[in-house]
Amino acid sequence: MQMTLPMQLPDETLYSLLARIAISNGMSGIEIVRRLLGDPNALSSIGCKVDLHHFSIIMDGAYGGVSEIISALTILPIQRRLGEVEDSELALVGEGKRRLSLDALVFGRDRGLKWKICHECMKEDVATYGVAYWHRSHQITSTICCSKHGEYLRSFALPRRELHEQFLLPHNVTHKISPDAFVIQTDNLGIYAEFSLLAKEALNDTGLPASTMAIHRVFKTSLMELGFLARREDICKRSTFLRELGLNERAYNFLLDHVGVRSPRQFLYGIADNRPVLPFSRLMLVHWLFGSWKVFKQRCQWQDVLDQPGNGHGATTNEEQNSSRLDEVRHIHRQACLEYKSSCERPTRLGFTRTAQLSARWLLQNDRQWLDEEIPVLSHRNDQKKLFD
């Protein structure tokens, strides 16, 4: 059977493309999944296991090879650049040896899906292409407003039953969206716009990504330098984390809840342990620790160079580099302590903490013996005083 294949649209999700293929050929969702995605026993459209290698063969290169399909139609590239997935995993997906669910390819997760649309994008899409479609950049969990128009995205859940049976486009569901489908916080729009632009920049990055090991090392080192991460890999509480970064707690608590971050410890999932990564949560760390995607990318590239044995930086040399960097950080925080001591007549641990919170925390976690010698903790003795000699 010869099929009519619609043109792939800019920033389109794989789900959206499949929906338009189904409409163009009068096919049901299950039929599309079984014929095109290599899941002959599928009972669900959104929950099916996708064989991207099979899809590229059936499409006869109409949408490029497997690597082009992954790069242009899924969110895997941004997850790779954040160190959330390994190159080996992407290779298995490309070869059809590992099949991810369709919702994981669109949202990075298979539960708690929030579909998002921008009304301005919908108008432009209809005017330009004749149909409104699902945008990849809108579906990233940390994206709350449109990176192009700056307006809040309408966020809503769709009944799982409907998603099992058929493929839906925005015009199929917009009538179901209630006016209060999204909590509007206009005073924080600028903050959310920064995250949306960061996600779009990361999604559109076409450069060669750094190794996952280098990315993880950069996150851990940066957190340690700021005093948020101790050597035992404990991280401070959520409220403390936000407050000491000088962030608007109300705005960022809303964003953290939207992404699903209950504790800063979740930022370390997959870095300090083997627990499943919280999709796109590391985008928040990129914004807070580095300020821009460009700075984060350069830092990871440099770390990658240091980790390459072929460049004269073997494991021993790399440990020496890290040790040297730790010494530099230790010197900075010790200097802050000494400057505080010289600025007041009676230095106290509390006063130092109030004056230089980050340095106080870092020294407490990583150089406590030195700190105790420089600014001893005042002892509170509870011995009963003598009434008589």
3-state secondary structure the chain: CCCCCCCCCCCECHHHHHHHHHHHHCCCHHHHHHHHCCCCCCCCCCCCEECHHHHHHHCCCCCCCHHHHHHHHCCHHHHHHCCCCCHHHHHHHHCCCCCEEHHHHHHCCCCCCCEEECHHHHHHHHHHHCCCCCEHHHHCCCCCECCCCCCECEEECCCHHHHHHCCCCHHHHHHHCCCCCCCCCHHHHHHHHHHHHHHHHHHHCCCCCCCHHHHHHHHHHHHHHCCCECCCCCECCHHHHHHHCCCCHHHHHHHHHHHCCCCHHHHHCCCCCCCCCCCCHHHHHHHHHHCCHHHHHHHHHHHHHHHCHHHCCCHHHHHHHHHHHHHHHHHHHHHHHHHHHHHCCCCCHHHHHHHCHHHHHHHHHHCHHHHHHHCCCCCCCCCCCCCCC
Residue 182 pLDDT greater than 60, yes or no: no
% of the chain exceeding 70 in pLDDT: 83
Question: Is 154 a domain residue?
Answer: yes
Both 131 and 182 in a single domain? Answer: yes
Question: Is 5 a domain residue?
Answer: no
pLDDT for 261 equals 84
Q: Which two tokens stand for residue 375?
A: 């600014």
Question: Is 291 a domain residue?
Answer: yes
pLDDT for 313 equals 47
Both 291 and 337 in a single domain? Answer: no
Task: Indicate the pLDDT class of residue 172, thresholds 50, 70 and 90.
Answer: confident
Both 18 and 167 in a single domain? Answer: yes
Question: Is 166 a domain residue?
Answer: yes
Both 357 and 275 in a single domain? Answer: no
Task: Tell me the mean pLDDT in the region 247-261.
Answer: 77
Mean pLDDT over each residue of the chain, to the nearest integer: 83
Both 241 and 301 in a single domain? Answer: yes
Task: Indicate the pLDDT class of residue 286, thresholds 50, 70 and 90.
Answer: very high
- Residue found under tokens 């309408």: 154
Task: Tell me the mean pLDDT in the region 336-348.
Answer: 88
Both 80 and 151 in a single domain? Answer: yes
Both 90 and 222 in a single domain? Answer: no
Both 36 and 126 in a single domain? Answer: yes
Question: Is 40 a domain residue?
Answer: yes
Question: Is 383 a domain residue?
Answer: no
Both 160 and 62 in a single domain? Answer: yes
Both 276 and 333 in a single domain? Answer: no
Both 158 and 302 in a single domain? Answer: no
pLDDT for 31 equals 92
Residue 291 pLDDT greater than 90, yes or no: no
- Domain residues for the domain of 108 are 14-187
Considering only 18-22, 273-277, 286-290, 375-379, which range has the smallest mean pLDDT? 375-379
Question: Is 387 a domain residue?
Answer: no
Question: Is 8 a domain residue?
Answer: no
Tell me how far the alpha carbon of residue 242 is from its chain's centroid: 17
Number of domains in the chain: 3
- Tell me the pLDDT tens digit for each residue of 214-252: 999 999 888 877 777 665 555 656 566 666 566 667 777
- Tell me the pLDDT tens digit for each residue of 5-61: 999 999 999 999 999 999 999 999 999 999 999 988 888 888 899 999 999 999 999
Task: Tell me the mean pLDDT in the region 90-98.
Answer: 91
Q: Looking at per-residue confidence, does 85 or 252 come out higher?
A: 85
pLDDT for 42 equals 86
Both 336 and 241 in a single domain? Answer: no
